[in-house]
Amino acid sequence: MYLFNSEVVKNQKLTQNIFRLRLKAANDFCRAATPGKFVMLGSDDGLFDPLLRRPFGICRWGSDWFEVIIKVVGRGSSQLSKFEKGVSVAVHGPLGNGYPNNNPKNDQKTLFLVAGGMGIASIASYLFSALDRNQSLAGTFLFYGAANYSELILLNELTAADAFGLQLQTITDDGSCGRQGLVTQLLTHELQSRPQSQVFACGPEPMLKSVQKVLLEADCDGYLSLENRMACGFGVCLGCVQTMINKDDDANVKTAKVCTQGPVFPARQVIF
């Protein structure tokens, strides 16, 4: 992982409160990025306000840049969302484990990607990484849910991925795009005909809890990307710990640091 000051290349407003920030990065940083990893971002103005950097998934990257999608929810995200071209940003990353390697072609498994709200930033990193390497997405489904049509960001790029074989299904709380309902309904329905699938999911905790329930009922393996609040991002503050089943002994529980041991965990292990 690297600790450096980067520069904003572009800040694109996607919705009223969601922004796509492209930042400069060294080639080494970009080579270390993999789908599901994240960065800690903060101001580089010397005022340390807010004091702590904030975690954001690395959504897409090239040879000398990377992008994050920022939803404004508080002070840190609001500050980052206002950074314009040329502004210096403190970056720490790539951090975390990312999604496991998955090659549906080799193991004949279908891959179901499940994204709720801003969870799409993490899930899209898997898709963009495949697209940028001209890798087929045959056998890959994306179930993408949000509150309404305007919250379904990146839709143009995701729709274009159907040329690579991606099967995209959207669902919204108000029915303004795709079916009306919750994203787990799409997963439940498709899992019935493909119970041996692999599943990667990212979204708000109630959604992840629901995905876990669906997976356990179907006796299907899957991975959840958690977004616990983080202070340091590199394993020293214990602010991000999550209770897990101790896989060596189902009767015992243990805690895991989401920043260094995650953010991606086997769904069967997480205790919500």
What residues make contact with ligand FES under the rule CB under 6 A? 230-233, 235-240, 257, 259
Shortest distance (Å) from residue 104 CB to ligand FES:
32
Considering the complex, state which of residue 55 and residue 178 has its C-beta at the smaller distance from ligand FES: 55
Q: Which of 82, 105, 95 has the alpha carbon at shortest distance from 38?
A: 95
Contact between 23 and 91 (Cβ < 8 Å): yes
Indicate the residue among 96 and 178 with the shorter CB distance to ligand FES.
96
State the residue number with the nearest CB to ligand FAD: 74
CB of 240 to ligand FES, least distance (A): 3
- Comparing CA positions, the residue from 100, 93, 117 lying closest to residue 38 is 93
The least distance separating ligand FES from the CB of residue 259, rounded to whole angstroms, comes to 3
Q: Which two tokens stand for residue 46?
A: 């010397």
Nearer to ligand FAD, 22 or 54 (CB): 54
Q: Which residues bind ligand FAD (CB under 6 A)?
A: 38, 50, 54-57, 68-71, 73-78, 118, 121, 227-230, 263
From ligand FES, ligand FAD, none, interface partner of 231 (C-beta below 5 to 8 A by class): ligand FES
Instruction: Kindly tell me the sign of the dihedral angle through the C-alpha atoms of 269, 53, 67, 234.
Output: negative
Q: Which residue in the block uniquely carries the two structure tokens 């995701």? A: 158
Coil vs helix vs strand at 84:
coil
What is the rounded CA–CA span in Å between residue 126 and residue 104?
13
Task: Give me the least distance between CB of 251 and ligand FAD, in Å please.
Answer: 29
The interface partner of residue 210, options being ligand FES, ligand FAD, none and the CB cut-off 5 to 8 Å by kind, is none
Whole-angstrom Cα distance, residue 222 to residue 60?
Answer: 23
Q: Write down the least CB distance from residue 48 to ligand FAD, Å.
A: 13
Distance CA 48, CA 75 (A): 12
